[in-house]
Amino acid sequence: MARLFYIEDNEEIPAIAFEASAPTGFTLITDPIKLKALHATRYDENRHDGINYYNEFQAGLYLDLMNGTYTVPEVVTLEAYVATLGDGIKAGAWLTAQQILSNLALSGIFDQVMKDKIALDISSYISDNY
């Protein structure tokens, strides 16, 4: 079930919650202008998390280069191959990235282990944040 935004009842400065169900003392937010602003803020957070995730991915590849696991041509080919996936993640479009990943065939160093790890990371992010 998708998470929804809720606002704390009877508070001068109410808290906002993004949850699967209403916390005690909170009411569903239905104002479309407020919802649009809240979702825009969520996308900013998703984008920030996506950039951090991709930076960690690239740092791991760099370390693999340094320890001889992969060669520069292999990493360059991989980065080109997963560019659309990386763009989706960096844009904070985690659901889109999940779909892109599911359609990516194994190729070069993009093996089943790497694909499964990325799939698990994306699924976990969606589960925790959508």
pLDDT digits (tens, 9 = 90+) for 7-50: 999 999 999 999 999 999 999 999 999 999 999 999 999 999 99
d(CA 89, CA 47): 7
Q: What is the pLDDT of residue 69?
A: 97
Question: Tokens 């400065």 label which residue?
Answer: 13
pLDDT over 70 (residue 1): no
Read off the pLDDT band of 2 (50, 70, 90).
confident
* 4-35 core/surface letters (b: 16 or more CB in 10 A; e: else): bbbbeeeeeeeeebbeeeeeeebeebeeeeee
Q: What is the pLDDT of residue 7?
A: 97
The pTM of the full predicted model, rounded to 2 decimals, is 0.88
Number of Cβ within a 10 Å radius of residue 77: 16
d(CA 38, CA 29): 10
pLDDT digits (tens, 9 = 90+) for 55-98: 999 999 999 999 999 999 999 999 999 999 999 999 999 999 99
d(CA 3, CA 22): 10
